[in-house]
Structure 1
């Protein structure tokens, strides 16, 4: 089964980490929540908490089969840290799946390769991605086969998103 890294920090959108993590684990996969340091508790916008498994400095592409980036305010906080941007770029340039929802794709803008991506995001993030050159679609799930990228717009898309990410790992 696959080992997935979920990068998040405080103020992530609770359902966008809780729901995919539960779906992935329910399918037999492992999900490591990673932030700046190991054994730190991060808290979502609505109170969900997770203890981080490791710190970003110890997270390597070779240790994981896929990347999960939930939305909320977390991606905007992470995209100013080159460690998260570099890891995200490595995943996008690898043959490993990347799963993101809502505000998660904000992180892609800093990678310098947004113009190679086809994706969706929350309505207010879509123009930013378009200006950065992405091919943005308005659909509950968008799959970019060239980058093994699965993206969705909002928590209401979670059932379709979760099904798509499980399929991507099959």
Structure 2
């Protein structure tokens, strides 16, 4: 990696535990700055996480996770300071999509054709912001109807895979972290060096 970036991560209470912590740490490990923010919360406060697991039931199971400490204040972010957006899944996207400022933020990155990585239920924010029409998108399979209603093509993938369409990288859930993060880093590198 030749260049580093400031990345914005949108989270909320009951964000999926692995899906917030793993990319937060991994992206920092390779030199990027990641600011994790939540509406109505400040740096030093935390969001509660949920652990979603795949245990042979018809859908994922859900258990209480950890407290994830925010390192930036939502009200203070300046979008011009960031080169990419990360949207973890879990329960948070289903209510974050009701926040007009969150949707503005998502639209800002999409309209500027900046790198966006969304995982699992994260594409619910993309659908609500109406920024995926014409895109090839993956998400947790239960989100496929929302993705398609927003005008995107839902691409079915193995749980360990991810897809990139332009500067948008999506995947089904945390087992896809290696593929999802690798594709996002490729997209980000191209964006930073153009």
The TM-score normalised by the length of structure 2 is: 0.81
| Pairing 1:85-100 to 2, within 5 Å after superposition | 85-100=103-118
Q: Which runs of 5+ in 2 are unaligned?
A: 52-64, 190-194
SS at match of 1:45: strand
Alignment correspondent of 1:62: 80
Match of 1:11 among 10, 14, 24: 14
Alignment correspondent of 1:141: 162
**CA spacing shift, 1:58–1:121, aligned 2, 3 Å:** same
**CA spacing shift, 1:116–1:81, aligned 2, 3 Å:** same
1:38 and 2:42 correspond: yes
Alignment correspondent of 1:75: 93
| Cα displacement (A) at 1:167 | 1.9
Deviations 1:20-40 (A, max 9, x none): 112111111111110122122
Deviations 1:67-91 (A, max 9, x none): 0000000111100000101100111
Q: Moved runs in structure 1, 4+ residues, more than 4 A?
A: none
Q: Which runs of 5+ in 1 are unaligned?
A: none
Alignment RMSD = 1.4
Match of 1:48 among 41, 48, 66: 66
Query: Are 2:162 and 2:170, in contact at CA under 8 Å, matched by a contact in 1?
Result: yes
Alignment correspondent of 1:106: 124
Query: Are 1:60 and 1:87, in contact at CA under 8 Å, matched by a contact in 2?
Result: no
The structure having more radius of gyration, on CA atoms, is: 2
Match of 1:124 among 105, 117, 142: 142
Query: Are 1:24 and 1:31, in contact at CA under 8 Å, matched by a contact in 2?
Result: yes
1:154 and 2:158 correspond: no
Alignment correspondent of 1:165: 184
Question: How many residues in Structure 1 have an aligned counterpart in Structure 2?
Answer: 168
The TM-score normalised by the length of structure 1 is: 0.92
